[in-house]
A = this chain, B = another copy of it.
Amino acid sequence: MKKYEIIVTDLEQKIFKDIYKENDLLPSENELAKQYASSRATVRQALKILEENGLIQRRHGYGSIVISHEKLLFPISGLTSFKELQTSLGFQSKTEVTIFGEITINQELSALTGFPLNSEAYHILRRRQIDGKFTVLDRDFLRKDFAGNLTKEIAQDSIYAYLENTLNLDIAYAQKEITIDFVSEEDLELLDLTPQDRHIVSVKSHVYLADNTPFQYTESRHQVDKFRFTEIARRQKR
Chain A residues proximal to chain B, CB less than 8 Å: 5, 8, 23, 41, 49, 54, 57, 59, 62, 65, 67, 71, 77-79, 171-180, 196, 198-199, 201, 205-206, 208, 210-212, 224-225, 227-236, 238
Contact = CB atoms under 8 A, between A and B. Distances in A.
Nearest to A214: B68
Contacts of A235: 78-79, 171-174
Contact of A57 (B41, B77, B208): B208
A67 B114 CA distance: 13
Given A57-B212, A196-B198, A234 B173 contact: yes
Contact of A180 (B67, B177, B180, B232): B180
Name the residue among A41, A175, A225 with the largest chain B CB count within 10 angstroms: A175
B173 A230 contact: no
B224 A79 contact: no
19 contacts: A41-B41, A57-B208, A59-B210, A65-B212, A71-B206, A77-B233, A78-B234, A78-B235, A78-B236, A79-B236, A172-B235, A173-B235, A175-B230, A176-B233, A178-B228, A180-B199, A180-B201, A180-B224, A199-B199
B230 A180 contact: no
Nearest to A222: B180
B173 A233 contact: yes
Given A196-B198, A198-B196, A173 B212 contact: no
Contacts of A67: 208, 212
A232 B79 CA distance: 9
Nearest to A12: B238
Nearest to A5: B238
B198 A198 contact: yes
Closest 6 CB pairs of A and B: A178-B229, A180-B224, A79-B233, A79-B235, A177-B230, A173-B234
